[in-house]
Amino acid sequence: MRFLLVKILFHLLNLPHFTFFDKDNVDKDNLLNWMANTYPLPEFKNYVKRRDLEILQHLGSGQNKNAYLLSVGERINLGVMMGDFKKAYLKLEKENNLRKTKK
């Protein structure tokens, strides 16, 4: 229902529809390049460390089961995200090394 109301509002305001949520419209190469270029930045690593500490503090605060499981899920998601960024970085590095050796 909420999605429908937002869609109607976008239509009335003559704004583009939810094409930015469509996963098919995402350019995979640009996304991988962005991920690979973001991974070595100290700001990205500081964000991951800070977010992990926030989640750990939240986990240790003594909360109910649902909030605890939600925090565990957030921490797992953060680890998966970091792993995806690292994979993209290593893939780009490998491609760059192959290009250098071919020249």
Extents of the domains making up the chain: 26-102
Under the banding of pLDDT at 50, 70 and 90, the label for residue 85 is very high
pLDDT band at 86 (very low <50, low <70, confident <90, very high): very high
**pLDDT at residue 38 tops 90:** yes
Q: What is the pTM of this model?
A: 0.69
Instruction: Give the residue from 62, 81, 61, 85 showing the smallest Cα distance to 73.
Output: 81
Q: Are 74 and 55 in contact (CB under 8 A)?
A: yes
